[in-house]
Amino acid sequence: MGICGTELLELIIRPTLKSLGVNNPIAERLMLGTAAVQSNLGFFLQSQRGIGLFGISSEIHQSIWDEYLAFQEDLASNVRGFASQHEFLKAPNTELASNLRYATAIAWMIYQRADIDLSKLKTDQDLAQCWYEFFAQKSAHQSPSSFIAQVQQIPTEVDEKAA
């Protein structure tokens, strides 16, 4: 059993996104769906998909820092602020599994780097396609339909509180 979707949204995803200047229920649902499909809401913290709640590979993690955040000083500082002071320097990928707010920030950076247009994401199918295009590793086990199936299993009170 993973993390309660409602609590993940309220205690981790929403406050992290707000700290990054994103106050949008569509972004919240995209992130919640991403966590659901990538790790079954934290049931798997290390798998073939990657590390942590969002199943981020060490290569993607490194590329976010080297190819995106390295050129955005203020944003990089904000994201680095979520990481623990000492552990990040010793084993940065460990932060993806042990630090939910940091993992959420890095996962959002994957979407932000892709410059997604949240106004075009109106349905679960739209969210699934966005996840598949920019986040999924395109394996046989990952498809837009797997995203939709996971999202639809999340309790409905998450939708009501996000709106």
Query: Of 136, 147, 129, which Cα lies nearest the Cα of 110?
Result: 136
Question: Do residues 107 and 56 make contact, with C-beta atoms less than 8 angstroms apart?
Answer: yes
The predicted-structure confidence for 80-98, as pLDDT tens digits, reads as follows 999 988 888 888 899 999 9
**How do strand 50-51 and strand 46-47 relate by DSSP bridges?**
antiparallel
Question: What is the pLDDT averaged over residues 28-48?
Answer: 88
**Residue 157: pLDDT over 60:** no
Q: How confident is the model at residue 140 (pLDDT cuts 50, 70, 90)?
A: low
* pTM summary value: 0.91
